[in-house]
Amino acid sequence: MENLVEIRDLRVEATTDAGRRIEIIKGVDLDVAPGEIVALIGESGSGKTTIALTIMGYARPGCRITSGSVTVAGKDMVTLSERQRAHVRGLEVSYVPQSAAAAFNPSKRIIDQVVEVTRIHRLMPIAQAREKAISLFRSLSLPDPEEIGNRYPHQVSGGQLQRLAAAMALISDPKLVIFDEPTTALDVTTQIEVLRAFKAVMKKSGIAGVYVSHDLAVVAQIADRIVVLRGGDVQEVGNTADILSDAKHPYTRELLSAFEPKSRGESVVVAAPGHTPLLKVNGLIAGYGPVQADGLPLVKAVQEASLSLERGRNLGIIGESGCGKSTLARSIAGILPASAGQLTLDGRELARSARHRSREQLRELQIVFQHADTSLNPAKTIEEILGRPLKFYHGMKGRVRDARIDALLDMVRLPKALRSRTPAELSGGQKQRVNFARALAAEPKLIVCDEITSALDTVVAAAVIDLLKEMQRELSLSYIFISHDLSVVEAICDEIVVMYNGRKVEEITPAISKVPQHPYSKLLFSSVPKLDPGWLDRLERDPELVKTYVHG
């Protein structure tokens, strides 16, 4: 059978600001048969999106296709003129972007944007296009398919918008759809609905797909074949089942092993009676907006949360976006002062606002943020970033401080040569290590980690988690670990708190019982994709439960 897409020896070059050229795609071959879904998987910077975009004959600004051919349905996209390419785009190949929220025009109704492709290519009369869009909405299992198109993009949820973006791509009956990480920004419970809808539509209409993702478990559900990329090179190509069960390439195996469930594997420490817990949170309420008559804020993001954490143990807080987990972390750290409730650290009362806490208390409780990019001052060198807490809390100067900076870098497994670099010159994983090392520099008792692995690639995230565990053994730290990713939390935490809608719904101790009791926890735990390709098809969810808790 003739392939729909044939990429032969594709090379893409980028020009740096110094005018030097680097090859970012180094001779890639790729085939997509009609009706087949091929996944491109790899970490950030592996060239997966770049390759996917070349199928539309597009190279991002600063990049250019230097050699090779990209044949789509018999036409070489590399040699076509821009006008001819425009004819192929949207008609034969269409694109579903990562963030549908950024891809829709907020000032136009959704339906007008969905049918735009048919207008540009003069495919069908507008009334017919609208009808077709509505039938697509229906097959993508969107609620209220007749009316949803008349809304504006901000009036639908993230998961719905992503499906609407897929409808926009499918309306012209393309031969190939490129999905660029379409579910990465969604919550796990929402992701399932979107994946199901995509899979059903693609299967029904026999459209080929190129699915770009970094998440092997998601890809396992939808792809026929997987192409593993790294550094602009194909590492391994194979059928989904083969890749998952019998990976040949060491990098693929590394990716797979990052998925293996790692339990904390420690016995339950029973606190001695009369022992004071390290951190105690009692009835904490925090939120945003003007203060009401009862002294509480208008929007309560966290309602009556109570926690207790023993020394040397870790507490995980999980929940979906908007459940209040980050707000809870921020009020524990005193960044967003709580409106009510008590906080005690090591038996001493903590002021609600960081401004009123003593320097010693601030030192003992450090917070590490999700985005290392925004947590490290881009105008400073690593040395200055790590040196400041040493001087501020411990009064270290000169050679003592230099030696300590080296020791800290060593602790987080970074070469000393990075000292004089600025954060922009570091990779994502390196930045997150520096971010963590800065918290270690204070010699804290407790570190609040707010989604610190979410922005990292799977393999890098696994390495950071290992580092956290190691630090804990060496420095007798405690962590509060906030994440939406259950596997990460399970890997490091002794206790897991599940939050929903600002409230703590359940507290689970994995060492005693791994089975969640609360219906929401059950739903959340069952929604995490597994590496098994048949998982999505077998997964059965209680429709009542989904209706109550999933707003995607």
Partner 1 sequence: MTTSTTLHRRVSYRFSWVGMIGFTIILFWAVIALLAPHIIPYPVGEIIDEDYFGPISSKLLLGSDYLGRDMFSRIIMGARYTVGISLAAVCLACFSGAALGMAAAVIGGWFDTLLSRLLDALNSIPSKLSGLVVAAAVGSSLPVLILMLAVIYTPGAYRFARSLAVNINTMDYITVARTRGEGIPYVVFSEILPNITGPLLADFGIRFVFVVLLLSGLSFLGLGVQPPYADWGALVHENIGGLPFGAPAVIVPSLAIASLTISVNLLIDNLPKKIRDRSR
Which parts of this chain interact with partner 1 (CB under 8 A)? 16-18, 20, 22, 333-335, 354, 357, 359, 362, 366-367, 369, 371, 374-381, 388-389, 392-393, 413, 415, 417-418, 420-422, 424-425, 427, 429-430, 438, 442, 460, 463
Shortest spacing between CB 312 and partner 1, in angstroms: 23
In 3D, which of 460, 453, 457, 522 has the Cα closest to residue 489? 453
From residue 40, give the alpha-carbon distance in Å to each of 60, 206, 233, 278.
Answer: 18, 19, 11, 45
Assign 540 to helix, strand or coil.
Answer: coil
Shortest spacing between CB 384 and partner 1, in angstroms: 9
User: Are 166 and 182 in contact, with CB atoms under 8 Å apart?
Assistant: yes
Residue 367 structure tokens: 């917070």
Closer residue to partner 1, CB minimum distance, 316 or 334: 334
Closer residue to partner 1, CB minimum distance, 40 or 376: 376
In 3D, which of 521, 526, 527 has the Cα closest to residue 509? 521
In 3D, which of 347, 340, 356 has the Cα closest to residue 286? 340
Q: How far apart are the first and last CA of the chain?
A: 39
Closer residue to partner 1, CB minimum distance, 379 or 512: 379
Which helix (H) or strand (E) is 450 found in, with range? strand 446-450
CA–CA dist 309, 319 (Å, integer): 19
CA–CA dist 321, 310 (Å, integer): 27
Shortest spacing between CB 161 and partner 1, in angstroms: 26
Shortest spacing between CB 455 and partner 1, in angstroms: 12
Length of the chain: 552
Residue with tokens 């994983």: 429
CA–CA dist 30, 227 (Å, integer): 8
Closer residue to partner 1, CB minimum distance, 51 or 418: 418
Shortest spacing between CB 264 and partner 1, in angstroms: 24
Closer residue to partner 1, CB minimum distance, 210 or 448: 448
437 CB-near residues (< 8 Å, 6+ apart): 386, 408, 409, 411, 412, 414
Closer residue to partner 1, CB minimum distance, 23 or 349: 23
CA–CA dist 89, 58 (Å, integer): 10
Closer residue to partner 1, CB minimum distance, 20 or 538: 20
Closer residue to partner 1, CB minimum distance, 189 or 366: 366
Query: 121: exposed, middle or buried (C-beta count within 10 Å: 0-12, 13-18, 19+)?
Result: middle
31, β-bridge pairs: 6
CA–CA dist 206, 236 (Å, integer): 25
Shortest spacing between CB 512 and partner 1, in angstroms: 34
Shortest spacing between CB 302 and partner 1, in angstroms: 18
Shortest spacing between CB 250 and partner 1, in angstroms: 15
Closer residue to partner 1, CB minimum distance, 136 or 405: 405
Shortest spacing between CB 453 and partner 1, in angstroms: 14
Shortest spacing between CB 20 and partner 1, in angstroms: 6
Assign 422 to helix, strand or coil.
Answer: coil
> In which order are the strands placed within the sheet that holds 37-41?
93-96, 176-180, 208-213, 37-41, 225-230, 233-239
Closer residue to partner 1, CB minimum distance, 148 or 455: 455
Helical residues (DSSP H) of 9-114, grouped into ranges = 48-54, 82-88, 100-103, 110-114
Closer residue to partner 1, CB minimum distance, 292 or 420: 420
501 CB-near residues (< 8 Å, 6+ apart): 323, 324
Q: Which residues of 211-227 are buried (b: 16+ CB within 10 A; e: fewer)?
A: bbbbbbbbbbbbbbbbb
Residue 458 structure tokens: 């799977």
In 3D, which of 217, 445, 193 has the Cα closest to residue 311? 445
Shortest spacing between CB 348 and partner 1, in angstroms: 16
Closer residue to partner 1, CB minimum distance, 369 or 520: 369
Assign 101 to helix, strand or coil.
Answer: helix
Closer residue to partner 1, CB minimum distance, 108 or 391: 391
Shortest spacing between CB 357 and partner 1, in angstroms: 8
User: Are 98 and 137 in contact, with CB atoms under 8 Å apart?
Assistant: no
User: Are 30 and 234 in contact, with CB atoms under 8 Å apart?
Assistant: yes
User: Are 314 and 513 in contact, with CB atoms under 8 Å apart?
Assistant: no
Shortest spacing between CB 166 and partner 1, in angstroms: 33
Shortest spacing between CB 61 and partner 1, in angstroms: 17
Closer residue to partner 1, CB minimum distance, 359 or 547: 359
